[in-house]
Amino acid sequence: MAHKPVGLGLSIATTGSSVRTDAIKVTSSVLRITALNTDAYVAVGGNPNASLNDYIIPAGTSAGIGVTKGSQRVIGITTGATTVVTCPEGTAFGFGVGDFVSLEADNISEVQYLSDLSHVAVASLDTTADVNGFFQTRATLTADTSGIVTDFAATDARLISSVKVAAISYSTGGSIHVQPIQTTGIA
């Protein structure tokens, strides 16, 4: 099976306690995780904690872990203690309550939107038609963007799925490397 890297890979050291990677934008449906020097037990999710009962990757081997990718175009953002993201009318929102998302955008008016809306949870969804004149899906995110005073403006703004990988091992001196990949059925 052939692998094509998609996006940046990252590594973390493993110990006898659960450690987590930074957020990974899900640009592919497979994360290739390699355990180096010691067996690693891994968990993938919004803010996972790994235990010795989780998926094991033996030292010196790799495993492909499936993740769900998704993206949704964004046409507006209302800042506040929580953040409301507005999506185009007539589109389905590909995320559910509890999913984690990150904002990507080109030519954005304020870069703080990108940092404040990095790996945040979806708190609620409003898909009701004609509430206060809105027909679009609106999602409330658990991000405090009250410090942003610049109106949102961007071309090709979108929310994208994001996850973290947690790992634990019996001993120190190990690490894992995580790489989003595409796979093909040919070698």
**Given a cut of 90, is residue 111 above it in pLDDT?**
no
Most confident of the following: 37-51, 72-86, 150-164: 37-51
Out of 2.60.120.1360, 2.60.120.10, 3.40.50.2300, 3.30.70.141, select the CATH number for domain 2-68+163-184: 2.60.120.10
The counts of H helices and E strands in the chain are 1, 16
Helix or strand run (H / E) with residue 24? strand 24-25
User: Which tokens is 163 given?
Assistant: 């996850």
The predicted model scores a pTM of: 0.89
Cα–Cα distance between 64 and 29 in angstroms, integer? 10
Q: Does domain 71-161 have CATH number 3.90.920.20?
A: no
Q: How many residues does the chain have?
A: 187
pLDDT tens-digit readout, 28-64: 999 999 999 999 999 999 999 999 999 999 999 999 9
Say which DSSP state 134 is in: B
Domain ranges (residues) in the chain: 2-68+163-184, 71-161
- pLDDT, tens digit, for every residue of 115-149? 999 999 999 988 776 656 667 788 999 999 999 98
Asked whether the beta carbons of 40 and 67 are under 8 A apart, the reply is: no
Q: pLDDT-based confidence at 153, cuts 50/70/90? A: confident
Domains 2-68+163-184 and 71-161 share a fold: no
Say what the pLDDT of residue 119 is: 96
CB atoms within 10 A of CB 12: 18
In Å, how far from its chain's centre is CA 182?
A: 17
